[in-house]
């Protein structure tokens, strides 16, 4: 109990810094600036009760939750659906996928009064936390109000487990407020048990990201784009890149162009606030460039195409011969390798993939992906695959088979949700 009070006191002490951070983020994103009171539980109550609440912190978690939210809408059509996020990009993705069919609000900071205001307004009958979000005051408040709490698609990296070490007692107490933890893998389940979760409450249901829907027409749009820029042209994609990775991709593309002068790089930065910076970097290096917001699609004359738009990667993956998935050359932990895998596109990743370790390991072991040791070897790896059609086809087929084999997690999670709601 003492540790919880110390944690809450620390949260109150850092509140001025949180406000400053909100103001700084509001400068970059005006819509976020207008909505930052929601982070303290201040928003107009939606006027319903008995809602099903899903929390997905950002874009990756929203994408993972998409098939689950659709299943909830299908099986519980009369229950109001609430979706919370933390980032503006996650918010944009929620609106893009679901529009006004769900009630969106930002998750409040883990301050007791903020959490209380939030729960009083959305009045949930079930709380579903996607992946890894352990907020002690929120969890205790759900237990106190009798709201069943479930962590779905739960993952816990070795790095995160170490990070919780100083607060392990508090994390253990918070996890004991959770009714069920539906883990992505046996490794994730074991780590939650080590962190203090009740072993009987931890189940392995698989990764819901394998159940993500392939957007209608993605392959057709990809094929159409290839016709526009040249059907036989070598094309590779660097997706969800972070600072430091765009330069690595551009240096790799220079290597590729020496051997394949008509090659095209599709470059998709992870965060919208970096779109313009990346575009300017590409121009400063002398590449013939087009952008999604400018030209729409690249032409035969362009060498680099910057995808400065959110939620539009699947058609570009479908149009690519090879896909490098970012966040993995720098210690971010990697991003979703399943999107290219679902479309039979061979995958390259860097050394840092702890956010998707089980999926990445499975793809590599079955021949659907390869690991690049460092940024300096990205160009040679891309070039090797672009020049070997048979190898690309084998990798693409292997990747797609892994994707198909692992599907079904959403159905397993829904059975657990049904049981909780029937109690």
CATH number for position 356: 3.40.50.2000
In this structure, is residue 213 part of a structural domain?
no
Residue 393 sits in the same domain as residue 418: no
Residue 1's pLDDT band, with cuts at 50, 70 and 90, is: low
Q: Kindly tell me if the per-residue pLDDT of 109 is higher than 80.
A: yes
In this structure, is residue 328 part of a structural domain?
yes
Please write the tens of the pLDDT for every residue from 337-349: 999 999 999 999 9
CATH number for position 157: 3.40.50.11720
In this structure, is residue 211 part of a structural domain?
no
Please write the tens of the pLDDT for every residue from 12-52: 898 888 888 777 766 666 666 678 899 999 999 999 999 99
| Res 60: pLDDT | 85
Q: How far apart are CA 62 and CA 125, in angstroms?
A: 21
In this structure, is residue 318 part of a structural domain?
yes
Q: 83 - beta bridge partners?
A: 54, 104
3-state secondary structure of 373: coil
Residue 155 sits in the same domain as residue 294: no
Residue 195 sits in the same domain as residue 240: no
Q: How far apart are CA 60 and CA 55, in angstroms?
A: 12
| Nearby residues of 211 by Cβ (< 8 Å), 6 or more positions away | 67, 407, 408, 409, 410, 411
Domain that holds residue 43: 2-206+408-422
Q: How far apart are CA 224 and CA 221, in angstroms?
A: 5
Residue 187 sits in the same domain as residue 314: no
Residue 160 sits in the same domain as residue 291: no
SS3 content of the chain, % helix, strand, coil (to 5): 55, 15, 30
In this structure, is residue 212 part of a structural domain?
no
Residues with a catalytic annotation lie at 61
| Res 312: pLDDT | 85
Calculate what percentage of the chain has a pLDDT beyond 90. Answer: 75
Say how many C-beta atoms besides its own lie within 10 A of residue 190's C-beta: 16
| Res 205: pLDDT | 96
Residue 232 sits in the same domain as residue 132: no
Residue 310 sits in the same domain as residue 322: yes
**Residue range 164-173: average pLDDT?**
89
CA distances from 126 to 45, 50, 51, 100, 330 (A): 18, 8, 7, 20, 37
**Residue range 246-275: average pLDDT?**
96
In this structure, is residue 271 part of a structural domain?
yes
| Nearby residues of 323 by Cβ (< 8 Å), 6 or more positions away | 236, 237, 239, 317, 340, 345, 346, 347, 348
pLDDT averaged over every residue in the chain:
93
Residue 232 sits in the same domain as residue 362: yes
| Nearby residues of 366 by Cβ (< 8 Å), 6 or more positions away | 398, 399, 401, 402
Residue 228 sits in the same domain as residue 269: yes
Closest CA to 206 of 156, 157, 154: 154
Q: What are phi and psi of 39, to 5 degrees?
A: -70, -10
Residue 38 sits in the same domain as residue 146: yes
| Res 17: pLDDT | 86
In total, how many domains does the chain have? 2
**Residue range 124-132: average pLDDT?**
95
Residue 291's pLDDT band, with cuts at 50, 70 and 90, is: very high
Q: What are phi and psi of 326, to 5 degrees?
A: -80, -175
Q: Kindly tell me if the per-residue pLDDT of 387 is higher than 80.
A: yes
In this structure, is residue 374 part of a structural domain?
yes
- Least confident piece of the model among 24-33, 130-139, 173-182, 251-260: 24-33
b/e 347-375 (16+ beta carbons within 10 angstroms → b): bbbbeebbbbbbbbebbbeebbbbbbeeb
| Nearby residues of 71 by Cβ (< 8 Å), 6 or more positions away | 410, 411, 414
Residue 194 sits in the same domain as residue 228: no
Closest CA to 86 of 155, 35, 46: 35
Q: Kindly tell me if the per-residue pLDDT of 134 is higher than 70.
A: yes
Q: How far apart are CA 332 and CA 19, in angstroms?
A: 25
Q: Are 265 and 236 in contact (CB under 8 A)?
A: yes
| Res 29: pLDDT | 64
Q: Kindly tell me if the per-residue pLDDT of 5 is higher than 90.
A: no
Q: Which bin fits 327, alpha (ψ -120 to 50), beta or left (φ > 0)?
A: left
Say how many C-beta atoms besides its own lie within 10 A of residue 382's C-beta: 28
For residue 57, give the DSSP letter.
Answer: -
Q: Kindly tell me if the per-residue pLDDT of 321 is higher than 80.
A: yes
Residue 358 sits in the same domain as residue 344: yes
Q: Kindly tell me if the per-residue pLDDT of 133 is higher than 90.
A: no
For residue 132, give the DSSP letter.
Answer: S
CA distances from 412 to 64, 71, 356 (A): 15, 11, 20
In this structure, is residue 25 part of a structural domain?
yes
Residue whose structure tokens are 């409040």? 108
Q: What are phi and psi of 82, to 5 degrees?
A: -115, 130
């Amino acid at each position: 109990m003492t540790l919880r009070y110390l944690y809450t006191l620390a949260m109150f002490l850092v509140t001025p810094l949180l406000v400053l951070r909100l103001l700084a983020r509001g400068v970059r994103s005006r819509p976020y600036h207008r909505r930052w009171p929601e982070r303290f539980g201040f928003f107009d109550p939606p006027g319903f009760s008995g809602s099903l609440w899903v929390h997905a912190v950002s874009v990756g978690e929203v994408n993972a939750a998409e098939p689950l939210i659709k299943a909830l809408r299908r099986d519980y059509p009369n229950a109001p659906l609430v979706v919370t996020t933390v980032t503006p990009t996650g918010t944009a993705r929620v609106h893009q996928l679901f529009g006004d069919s769900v009630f969106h609000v930002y998750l409040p900071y883990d301050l007791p009064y903020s959490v209380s205001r939030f729960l009083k307004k959305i009045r949930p009958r079930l709380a579903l936390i996607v992946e890894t979000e352990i907020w002690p005051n929120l969890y205790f408040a759900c237990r106190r109000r009798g709201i069943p709490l479930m962590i779905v698609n739960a993952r816990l990296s070795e790095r995160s487990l170490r990070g919780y070490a100083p607060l392990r007692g508090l994390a253990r107490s918070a996890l004991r407020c959770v009714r069920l933890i539906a883990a992505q893998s046996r490794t994730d389940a074991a780590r939650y048990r080590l962190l203090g979760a009740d072993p009987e409450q931890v189940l392995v249901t698989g990764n819901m990201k394998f159940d993500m829907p392939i957007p209608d027409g993605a392959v057709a749009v990809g094929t159409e784009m290839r016709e526009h820029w040249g059907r036989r042209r070598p094309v590779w994609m660097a997706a969800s890149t972070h600072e430091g990775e765009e330069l690595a991709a551009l240096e790799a593309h220079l290597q590729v162009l020496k051997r394949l002068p008509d090659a095209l790089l599709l470059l998709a930065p992870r965060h919208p606030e970096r779109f313009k910076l990346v575009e300017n970097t590409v121009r400063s290096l002398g590449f013939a460039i087009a952008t999604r917001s400018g030209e729409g699609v690249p032409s035969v004359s362009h060498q680099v195409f910057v995808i400065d738009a959110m939620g539009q990667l699947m058609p570009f993956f479908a149009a690519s011969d090879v896909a490098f998935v970012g966040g993995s050359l720098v210690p971010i932990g990697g991003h979703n390798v399943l999107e290219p895998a679902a479309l039979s596109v061979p995958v390259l990743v860097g050394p840092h993939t702890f956010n998707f370790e089980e999926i990445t390991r499975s793809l590599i072991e079955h021949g659907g992906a390869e690991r690049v040791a460092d940024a300096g070897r990205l160009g040679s790896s891309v070039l090797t695959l672009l020049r070997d059609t048979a190898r690309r086809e084998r990798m693409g087929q292997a990747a797609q088979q892994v994707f198909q084999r692992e599907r079904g997690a959403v159905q397993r999670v829904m059975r657990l949700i049904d049981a909780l709601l029937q109690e």
